Amino acid sequence: MTKLNENYLKLQSSYLFSTIAKKVAAYKQENPSAEIIRLGIGDVTLPLPSAVIEAMHKAVDEMAVSSSFKGYGPDYGYDFLRQKIVETDYLARGVQITEDEVFISDGAKSDVGNFQEIFDAKASVAITDPVYPVYLDTNVMAGRTGAFKKGKYSKIVYLPCTAKNNFIPLLPKKHVDLIYICSPNNPTGTCLNKEELSKWVEYALNNKSVILFDSAYEAFISEPDIPHSIFEIPGAEKVAVEFRSFSKTAGFTGTRCAYTVVPKALKVFDKEGGEHSLNSLWGRRQSTKFNGVPYIVQKGAEAVYSPEGQKQIKENIAYYMENAKIIREGLRSLGLKIFGGVNAPYIWIKLPKGVTSWDFFGKLLKEANVVGTPGAGFGPCGEGCFRLTAFGSRENTIKAVERIKQLKL
Amino acid sequence: MTKLNENYLKLQSSYLFSTIAKKVAAYKQENPSAEIIRLGIGDVTLPLPSAVIEAMHKAVDEMAVSSSFKGYGPDYGYDFLRQKIVETDYLARGVQITEDEVFISDGAKSDVGNFQEIFDAKASVAITDPVYPVYLDTNVMAGRTGAFKKGKYSKIVYLPCTAKNNFIPLLPKKHVDLIYICSPNNPTGTCLNKEELSKWVEYALNNKSVILFDSAYEAFISEPDIPHSIFEIPGAEKVAVEFRSFSKTAGFTGTRCAYTVVPKALKVFDKEGGEHSLNSLWGRRQSTKFNGVPYIVQKGAEAVYSPEGQKQIKENIAYYMENAKIIREGLRSLGLKIFGGVNAPYIWIKLPKGVTSWDFFGKLLKEANVVGTPGAGFGPCGEGCFRLTAFGSRENTIKAVERIKQLKL
């Protein structure tokens, strides 16, 4: 009798965005004429930059001819892409990262989900509350949590983020092995500034912890004091892994390319206290379970770093951030308290007292035909909050804000 | 102090093909003028079929315009591709599979490597010896084995495949939960016929085991009695998962697309004996840790099923199988015993008595400048054998065989 991994039975229903998709589909079926505007899932809508399109056409042509055809690529990505990443995203910011510390992958979700595999099954885990569900669910699957009770899994260290602390987590009171930090944050749109992030690096150095730093939204940072990379903080290379993605930066949600930086200075320990390189461990994981990103896609990602590519992605980001401003200002005019939307494409709404986030989801869907994401879907502290994204078209964003303004809140 | 997953320390050096690549690179550096022919790693060399190229160009153009741009795709793959797979690879062969049993992914290596996650950490595992290393290494990483001694991990049930049994494994003598079967086989190139495969399905039905059936090479089958899918065997839908790939079938090793069929009739059990759908469990795993395959690539894979696509991939496979014949016949003329190469792109050479497979690897590299894969890299029973692949160009294949014929064996 073959048994399942019973940790899966602890998971709470289905993945948040699948649930939302099903609810929207059901509403759409009952109301086929409803003109639904989706500001729920953080999915881009602008087409790929023309520099990327050109590069991918060229790469497709290369695949058509024996002399330039590409079979299996290097396990960790092509050097042409790893070089551009190192030069543009790190060296140009004064951060020393080498090419063999960069692992190209098909998505930050995959990497951030798979990364926990290389740590001890009993490692203690801290996450913020609210949180991007992948950090939590993948640790549930791996057995690092107990049962789910009153909205929380036992054994997990939750770091509450609320309007009272401006959604900036406090350091854990006890020792934790693995700490997930997302800045700019999904879902709250808030950021850790240099001083705040330095405290986390110091904590990790003192506790020999590992910070899993998700900076998938760094391209949206507009304020000078917000670090784009955790490696801007001295000492972080000894305690942090950084996850980045082309999904939001360059419109790659349907094209799939990301990367993870694992510094060679980062060590983890065996039972006897012997040191092991996390970079080597992740390399072994990836060469055993992953076969790389399509050549065509890596050529597309390389083009993001060309002068035209850089100009085009900045224009797209500016477009989305103008949407963020429209949402932020429109909702503020209703007297709602709003977080995020300045250094991140997410707008985090504090709902009026007594309104639950799933109630608001239903109201918005039915009365305004606008889809957002209920804060409670990201954790108990997300209750009473609601996420909208800036990734819609300008027209739809304006229309959605106008419709919301008509509601009785 | 953050601890690593100590199971990683049990792994034997690096992944086989990384080791070979390093040895070849070292030789090449010392002998820069050597004209090396690579018949080691199973990587295709013919360019992508023109039907695929055309479809990908179209898809790239769609990504350039808002109205046809694609963001996140459906978690389990686009319906247009799942439909074609069901129709062509299953219904047309009389096998009843539905679209929601097909999960599109970036590679059979990823799927076959990740799939073990959804089973109990203590599930017992049977693999053939020799074996594709991914089946074994991913279970080592998951802690399903003990230490490595005398070429084997304790707790793993090894099913010896040798020249004596024509490389066809016998049923395990005791109960096993998970059974990895690869047919047509990598590395031996041998196949299970209908009668033999039926015995495995019967065993699994009697033992409530799960067969993880890797049929990545089914497109190379030329003989009528060899099943293309395990689901041709009655009852298999209750006990088997099937892994398929476009890598070898359509030249996608550098383009990355595969699929896994998880029948809804397949149940696994919790401690209390309660039934759970493996299809749902895999769905939950994928929606949590994976974000789908690039739209462009899925459109390319769809084109494999067009009439032109089908014609083109058949021509490419015939080309490789002619190479296989050249290798088979050439080496047989030297008096060597040869397996495989009839229903598979792999030729498995029984070496003369006393010659080890790594010795032969070194001899071939240095004296013939031909790269193959030592049988011992696939397990202890692979010792004394050597794998060549049919994926070279015709010219290189002929040249390699001529060079080998000059060697003193």
The minimal CB distance from B253 to the residues A71, A117, A210 is found for A71
Q: How far is A99 from chain B (nearest CA, A)?
A: 18
The first and second tokens of residue B6, run together, are 């100590």
> What does the pLDDT read at residue A14?
65
Give percent of chain A above pLDDT 70: 99
Q: Which residue of A has its CA nearest to B282?
A: A8
Mean pLDDT within A368-383: 95
With 0-12 / 13-18 / 19 or more C-beta atoms within 10 angstroms meaning exposed / middle / buried, residue B384 is: buried
The minimal CB distance from B3 to the residues A1, A14, A268 is found for A268
- Asked whether the beta carbons of residue A106 and residue B53 sit closer than 8 angstroms, the reply is no
The minimal CB distance from A294 to the residues B4, B285, B294 is found for B294
Q: What DSSP designation does A408 have?
A: -
Chain B residues close to A45, C-beta within 8 Å: 66, 69, 71
- Asked whether the beta carbons of residue B1 and residue A73 sit closer than 8 angstroms, the reply is no
- Asked whether the beta carbons of residue A56 and residue B53 sit closer than 8 angstroms, the reply is no
Which residues 72-91 of chain B have a CB within 8 Å of chain A? 72-73, 75
How many helices (H) and strands (E) would you count in chain A?
12, 17
Put simply, whether B253 touches A (Cβ < 8 Å) is yes
- Asked whether the beta carbons of residue B1 and residue A61 sit closer than 8 angstroms, the reply is no
Question: How many angstroms separate the CA atoms of A374 and A187, rounded?
Answer: 10
Q: Are A166 and A172 in contact (CB under 8 A)?
A: no
- Asked whether the beta carbons of residue B294 and residue A8 sit closer than 8 angstroms, the reply is no
Q: Which residue of A has its CA nearest to B207?
A: A1
Helix (H) or strand (E) holding A241: strand A240-245
Question: How many angstroms separate the CA atoms of B333 and B327, rounded?
Answer: 10
- Asked whether the beta carbons of residue B1 and residue A50 sit closer than 8 angstroms, the reply is no
Q: How far is B105 from chain A (nearest CA, A)?
A: 11
What ipTM was assigned to the predicted interfaces of this complex? Answer: 0.96
The first and second tokens of residue B334, run together, are 């030297």
| Number of residues that make up chain B | 409
By C-alpha distance, which of B328, B237, B308 is closest to B277? Answer: B237
Provide the H-helix boundaries in A255-348. 278-289, 295-303, 307-332
> What does the pLDDT read at residue B16?
79
Chain A residues close to B278, C-beta within 8 Å: 4
- Residue of B114, B291, B295, B308 to mutate, testing the A interface (most A Cβ within 10 Å of its Cβ): B291
Helix (H) or strand (E) holding B388: strand B385-389
- Asked whether the beta carbons of residue B44 and residue A71 sit closer than 8 angstroms, the reply is yes
Which amino acid, residue A103? F
The first and second tokens of residue B32, run together, are 């820069």
Q: Are B39 and B400 in contact (CB under 8 A)?
A: yes
The minimal CB distance from B138 to the residues A137, A289, A297 is found for A289
User: What angle, rounded to 10 degrees, do the helices at A278-289 and B133-141 form?
Assistant: 140
Q: Are A37 and A370 in contact (CB under 8 A)?
A: yes
Helix (H) or strand (E) holding A373: strand A373-374
In tens, the pLDDT along A32-57 reads 999 999 999 889 999 999 999 999 99
The minimal CB distance from A210 to the residues B2, B11, B273 is found for B2
Backbone angles phi, psi at B179, to 5 degrees: -125, 120
Q: Which residue of A has its CA nearest to B136?
A: A288
Topology match between the domains A10-47+308-406 and A53-306:
no
Q: Which residues contact B120 (CB under 8 A, 6 or more apart)?
A: A2, A3, A4, A5, A6, B177
- Asked whether the beta carbons of residue B138 and residue A44 sit closer than 8 angstroms, the reply is no
> What does the pLDDT read at residue B236?
98
Question: How many angstroms separate the CA atoms of A50 and A303, rounded?
Answer: 9
| Fold (topology level) of A10-47+308-406 | Aspartate Aminotransferase, domain 1 (3.90.1150)
Helix (H) or strand (E) holding A207: helix A194-207
> What does the pLDDT read at residue A344?
98
Q: Which residues contact A111 (CB under 8 A, 6 or more apart)?
A: A103, A105, A243, A258, A260
Pick the CATH number of B8-47+308-406 from 3.50.50.60, 3.40.50.300, 3.90.1150.10, 3.40.50.720: 3.90.1150.10
For residue A409, pLDDT beyond 90? no
Chain B residues close to A38, C-beta within 8 Å: none
Put simply, whether B65 touches A (Cβ < 8 Å) is yes
Put simply, whether A43 touches B (Cβ < 8 Å) is yes
By C-alpha distance, which of B264, B266, B255 is closest to B48? Answer: B255
By C-alpha distance, which of A156, A151, A193, A191 is closest to A172? Answer: A156
> What does the pLDDT read at residue B14?
65
Q: Where along chain A do its domains lie?
A: 10-47+308-406, 53-306
Label residues B345-377 b or e (16+ Cβ within 10 Å = b). Answer: bbbbbbbeeeeebeebbebbbeebbbbbbbbbb
Taking the CA atoms of A347, A352, A353 and A358 in sequence, report the sign of the dihedral they define.
negative
The first and second tokens of residue A375, run together, are 């804060």
Question: How many angstroms separate the CA atoms of A68 and B61, rounded?
Answer: 22
A–B CB contacts, 8 A cutoff, strictly below = 270
By C-alpha distance, which of B17, B76, B54 is closest to B306? Answer: B54
Which amino acid, residue B105? S
Which residues 105-164 of chain B have a CB within 8 Å of chain A? 106-107, 109-110, 113-114, 117-123, 133-134, 137-138, 141, 143
The first and second tokens of residue B385, run together, are 């054998």
> What does the pLDDT read at residue B376?
92
Taking the CA atoms of B71, B76, B79 and B84 in sequence, report the sign of the dihedral they define.
positive
Question: How many angstroms separate the CA atoms of B225 and B203, rounded?
Answer: 20
Output the CA angle B309-B310-B312, nearest 5 degrees. Answer: 65
Residue entry with tokens 């799933």: A358
Q: Are A177 and B3 in contact (CB under 8 A)?
A: yes
The minimal CB distance from A5 to the residues B121, B290, B296 is found for B121
- Asked whether the beta carbons of residue A3 and residue B109 sit closer than 8 angstroms, the reply is no
The minimal CB distance from A284 to the residues B8, B41, B210 is found for B8
By C-alpha distance, which of A367, A112, A71, A332 is closest to A216? Answer: A112
- Asked whether the beta carbons of residue B294 and residue A291 sit closer than 8 angstroms, the reply is no
- SS3 category, A69: coil
Which residues 324-383 of chain A have a CB within 8 Å of chain B? none
User: What angle, rounded to 10 degrees, do the helices at A307-332 and A50-62 form?
Assistant: 140
Which amino acid, residue B292? G
Work out the end-to-end distance of chain B between its first and last CA atoms, rounded to an integer number of angstroms. 54
> What does the pLDDT read at residue A150?
87
Low-confidence residues in chain B, pLDDT < 50: none
Chain A residues close to B113, C-beta within 8 Å: 288-290
- SS3 category, A35: coil
Question: How many angstroms separate the CA atoms of A325 and A327, rounded?
Answer: 5
Mean pLDDT within A321-330: 98
Cross-strand pairs, B386: B349, B374
The minimal CB distance from A254 to the residues B46, B73, B256 is found for B73
For residue A19, pLDDT beyond 90? no
Backbone angles phi, psi at B94, to 5 degrees: 80, 15
> What does the pLDDT read at residue B380?
93
| Fold (topology level) of A53-306 | Aspartate Aminotransferase; domain 2 (3.40.640)
CA dihedral A50, A52, A54, A57 (to 10 degrees): -140
